[in-house]
């Protein structure tokens, strides 16, 4: 789903041979954001309402088709076949619903259309339907983009320093069973806990929540929109309550609940793998700059899911540089900027199910021993 219809970001032989764990350069880039922008064809920045809407309609149709099949045919299958059919439905419905979540995310970046009111309307409806507080996420995510890989100011996926690890952390990381349980908990409950109590978010001096309009995450001008986000979630919850009363709680969990959990899991998986990698530096205030932080992320390949997720996975470096480029132009733009970025561009083709197990072991950052780069920190595997 790319700039030419179904283009995918090509991977050069040099990228394939490159050690994906080789550290990216930490010196000041020999190019500016202006140099990168000049390399991108101007049409990549153009947002087409018709084209964006076509992807939205496509995803909505697929979600409805899977819902219709599940609600009509699975309940009448013999019991043994239901045990196979339901997981298949959950995987497909969760995957395509993640595509809808990604479109709402694009709305938050104003890359869906040229009309902010339309972007926010579409994003609000889609995210609310998936139990994500749209405006709350939009503003905290904007701050993440403004402070990427800053140890003091990044808004989420902020790594811990080795000196601040709790005593039991290494115990479960070194224990495969404990590590698997914590990983599963992170994938399934991580996003709701981030919304509710800012787990894995920027440390604040007082309680922070995406549901609280007076949370320290937000300023006074944003508070009314946080309330609107809450209203959207309350409305969705009421609809779900009415559906549960009419159809039964089990039916609601099977049709809606499990796919939403899968959506949450994919979002945590995608963002975690974008920002957790042995090759990527983090900076304190003495070294951080916006372009150095924006470049310290990695593109990934999720196979067929890459297309279902509208290429959010393999164009993330570009996304942090120019978040207003729509996803259907992002592959062409990524190809255009690679020669400019050179070694500053990072791609890891490790299958995501292997990468998450490997990179989940990156539990803290620290300076290299004896390094003169005092403000630069690297992930270390335990």
> pLDDT by residue (tens digit) across 143-200?
999 999 999 999 988 888 888 887 777 777 778 888 899 999 999 999 999 999 999 8
What is the distance between the alpha carbons of residues 58 and 208, in angstroms, rounded to a whole number? 37
Q: Is residue 2 included in any domain, yes or no?
A: no
CB 317 within 8 A of CB 341: yes
Tokens of 48: 């087409």
CB 135 within 8 A of CB 161: no
Q: Name every residue whose Cβ is closer than 8 Å to that of residue 223 and which is 6 or more positions away in sequence.
A: 213, 214
Tokens of 357: 């197990």
Q: How many helices (H) and strands (E) does the chain have?
A: 16, 5
- Pick from 146, 111, 106, 155: nearest CA to 126: 106
Tell me the pTM. Answer: 0.93
CB 194 within 8 A of CB 270: no
Q: Is residue 10 included in any domain, yes or no?
A: no
Residue span of the structural domain in which 51 resides = 33-381
Q: Is residue 4 included in any domain, yes or no?
A: no
Domain count, the chain: 1
Q: Is residue 273 included in any domain, yes or no?
A: yes
Q: Is residue 175 included in any domain, yes or no?
A: yes
Q: Is residue 240 included in any domain, yes or no?
A: yes
In degrees, to the nearest 5, what angle opens at C-alpha 137 toward C-alphas 131 and 142? Answer: 160
- What sign has the CA pseudo-torsion 157, 160, 166, 169? positive
Q: Is residue 186 included in any domain, yes or no?
A: yes
Q: Is residue 297 included in any domain, yes or no?
A: yes
In the chain, the percentage of residues whose pLDDT exceeds 90 is 83
Q: What is the pLDDT of residues 210-243, one digit of tens each?
A: 999 999 999 999 999 999 999 999 999 999 999 9
| Secondary structure of residue 109 in the 3-state scheme | coil
Q: What is the pLDDT along the chain (382 residues), one digit of tens a residue?
A: 333 344 444 455 445 446 788 999 989 999 999 999 999 999 999 999 999 999 999 999 999 999 999 999 999 999 999 999 999 999 999 999 999 999 999 999 999 999 999 999 999 999 999 999 999 999 999 999 999 999 999 998 888 888 888 777 777 777 888 889 999 999 999 999 999 999 989 999 999 999 999 999 999 999 999 999 999 999 999 999 999 999 999 999 999 999 999 999 999 999 999 999 999 999 999 999 999 999 999 999 999 999 999 999 999 999 999 999 999 999 999 999 999 999 999 999 999 999 999 999 888 899 988 777 679 999 987 6
């Amino acid at each position: 789903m790319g700039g030419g219809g179904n283009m995918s970001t090509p991977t050069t032989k040099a990228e394939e041979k490159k050690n994906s764990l080789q550290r990216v350069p930490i010196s000041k880039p020999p190019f500016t954001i202006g140099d990168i922008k000049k390399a991108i064809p101007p049409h990549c920045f153009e947002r087409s309402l018709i084209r964006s809407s076509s992807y939205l309609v496509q995803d909505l149709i697929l979600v409805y088709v899977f819902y219709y099949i599940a609600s009509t045919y699975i309940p009448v299958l013999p019991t043994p076949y239901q045990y196979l059919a339901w997981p298949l439905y959950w995987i497909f419905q969760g995957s395509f619903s993640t595509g809808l979540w990604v479109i709402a995310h694009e709305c938050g970046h104003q890359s869906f259309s040229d009309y902010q009111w339309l972007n926010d309307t579409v994003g609000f409806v889609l995210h609310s339907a998936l139990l994500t507080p749209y405006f709350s996420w939009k503003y905290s995510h904007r701050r993440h983009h403004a402070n990427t890989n800053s140890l003091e100011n990044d808004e989420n996926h902020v790594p811990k320093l080795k000196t601040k690890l709790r005593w039991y952390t290494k115990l479960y990381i070194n224990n495969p069973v404990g590590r698997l349980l914590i990983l599963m908990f992170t994938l399934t409950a991580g996003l709701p806990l981030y919304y509710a109590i800012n787990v894995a978010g920027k440390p604040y001096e007082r309680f922070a929540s995406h549901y609280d309009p007076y949370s320290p995450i937000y300023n006074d001008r944003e508070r009314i929109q946080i309330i609107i986000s809450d209203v959207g979630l309350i409305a969705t919850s009421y609809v779900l309550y009415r559906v549960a009363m009419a159809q039964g709680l089990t039916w609601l969990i099977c049709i809606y609940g499990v796919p939403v959990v899968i959506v949450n899991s994919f979002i945590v998986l995608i963002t975690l793998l974008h920002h957790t990698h042995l090759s990527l530096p983090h900076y304190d205030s003495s070294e951080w700059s916006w372009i150095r932080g924006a470049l310290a992320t990695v593109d990934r390949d999720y196979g067929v899911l890459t297309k279902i997720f509208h290429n959010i996975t393999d164009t993330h470096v570009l996304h942090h540089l120019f978040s207003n480029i729509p996803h259907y132009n992002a592959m062409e733009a990524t190809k255009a900027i690679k020669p400019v970025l050179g070694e500053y561009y990072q791609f890891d083709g490790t299958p995501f199910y292997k990468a998450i197990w490997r990179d989940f072991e990156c539990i803290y950052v620290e300076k290299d021993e004896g390094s003169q780069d005092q403000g630069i920190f690297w992930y270390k595997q335990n």
